[in-house]
Structure 1
Amino acid sequence: MNEFVFTLKDTTKKAFNTFFWFLYCVHLLIAALMIGNTENPLQKKTAIVSFAFWIIATILYYFFKHKFRLFRFQLAMFAAMLAFWLIQYAWLPAIFCAVIIVFVLRVFAIKSTAAFSTSGILIIKSLFKKQYHWKEVDNVVLKDGLLSIDLKNNHLIQAEIDPEDTTNAAEFNNFCKAQLG
């Protein structure tokens, strides 16, 4: 076989989830502050409705999280945050929410992959891709679902492989040894 392609395990979801809950709490706090501090009746009404919606959505998610995917809940809440800021005529936070939505859709739509061929190694991690020629690589090993790429410039790349991947590790390791000479 002349080419091996692996799907890498996604390790960014925990950081994104933490970031989401932080922004979510900030939006709840801002809506609560707007309820108490704004003079404009439209803004006050919008803040009350948004605050109630976010609290109800959170309670529903908590009790039915086994039926919902967190990712869809997060996108729905970011869309609600975007709508909230657009109604409030706060353009900078609205643009910020829109950028986050686009960024999240882009990053999570692309699976991180590592492709090994006779011409070299191509690693694609969401927005970025990096190509290594075999002459830059000192050693490559796949063992127990962990892919290790040791570069000659003393950099080490390690990534977990998707557990559903059925590639024969011995065959892959032999291919890499043959490429390394």
Structure 2
Amino acid sequence: MESGKDKYELVLKNNRVRQYRIFAILIILLNLTLLALLAFYTSNPSHRSFALTGLVLCPLSFAVAWFMGRNKRSTRSWDPLTASFFYLIFSWALMTYWLPAALNFLLFAFYIISRRQLIVQVAVDHIFYPSFPARTVSWKEMNNVILKDGLLTLDFKNNKILQNEIVNTPGDIPESEFNRFCQARMSA
């Protein structure tokens, strides 16, 4: 190969992260409402204490994680919603309400999957596309792969086209070098 590179990694822009975050906040608020109702209307003292604990720890963990994420000296990017989901799931499980605990766990898993970093790997023998579930595409399935003005276009032989904006800085991946690499892989 001319360029000496055998793999490119392109980070795709995830345009829906804000929508997923709003949806997760609404789920957490619904759970807090249900815990508050349960805390005030249950006759079981242990359920009341676990519901009140969840009502206190969930917003508290959100606030702590939010302030830690805003701290410029913090080495981690904390997600406040992760801690909140943890305490909600834990509260429902302690009260042996398995259906709400399982449902929240499932929604939390979808939230984590939806906000992951989307990385397309273009290698010598295949293209790895980060859909859900992840997909590995052979070069034989492709008509064309082009990177132009920060837009990645994958043109499949079955007339399917995927276009995504990338967030890599322009100097990270020289477009002409990447396009030559892809043309060489498709003709091989």
- TM-score per shorter chain, which class? 0.7 to 0.9
Alpha-carbon distance change, 164 to 61 in structure 1, aligned in 2, over 3 angstroms: same
Query: Which ranges in structure 1 are unaligned for 5 or more consecutive residues?
Result: none
Give the structure 1 partner of residue 143 of structure 2.
Answer: 138
Q: CA RMSD in A?
A: 3.1
1:140 CA drift (Å) = 1.7
- TM value normalised by structure 2: 0.75
Residues 130-174 of structure 1: CA deviation (Å, up to 9, x unaligned): 233333222221122211111121111112223347011111112
**Residue 148 (structure 1) aligns with:** 153
Distance 1:61 1:119, change over 3 A: closer
Q: Which amino acid aligns with 1:29?
A: T
Partner in structure 2 of residue 123 of structure 1: 129
SS at match of 1:94: helix
Q: CA deviation at 1:12?
A: 4.7
When the two structures are superposed, what TM-score results if normalisation uses the length of structure 1? 0.77
The answer to whether 1:88 aligns with 2:95 is yes
C-alpha distance in 2 between matches for 1:57 and 1:116: 40
How is 1:17-36 mapped onto 2 (pairs within 5 angstroms)?
17-36=21-40
Q: Is residue 45 of structure 2 the alignment partner of residue 38 of structure 1?
A: no
Q: Against the structure 1 CA distance between its residues 41 and 133, is the aligned structure 2 distance closer, same or farther, given a 3 Å change threshold?
A: closer
Identity of aligned residues (%): 25
Q: CA, structure 1 residues 82+176, in 2 after alignment: closer, same or farther (shift >3 Å)?
A: same
Unaligned regions of 5+ residues in structure 2, if any?
none
8 Å contact kept, 2:66–2:79: no
- 2:18 equivalent among 11, 14, 18: 14
